[in-house]
Amino acid sequence: MTAPSNQDILEQLRLRSNLVASKDGSQGLDVLSSLHQYIKAYDLTRTCIPSGAQVLDWGGGSGHFSYFLNKAGYTTHIYAFAEPQFIQQEIADGEITYRKANTTEPIHIDYPDERFDAVC
What dihedral angle (degrees, nearest 10) is formed by the CA atoms of 18, 20, 23, 27? Answer: -60
| Rounded-to-integer distance, Cα 23 and Cα 70, Å | 22
pTM: 0.82
| Rounded-to-integer distance, Cα 36 and Cα 13, Å | 11
Q: What pLDDT digit, counting tens, does each position of 29-59 carry?
A: 666 667 778 889 999 999 999 999 999 999 8
Return the higher-pLDDT residue of 78 and 34. 78
Looking at residue 54, its pLDDT comes to 98
Helices 64-71 and 6-24 meet at what angle, rounded to 10? 140
Angle at alpha carbon of residue 117, lines to 111 and 120, rounded to 5°? 80
Among candidate residues 76, 73, 63, 58, the one with its CA nearest the CA of residue 5:
73
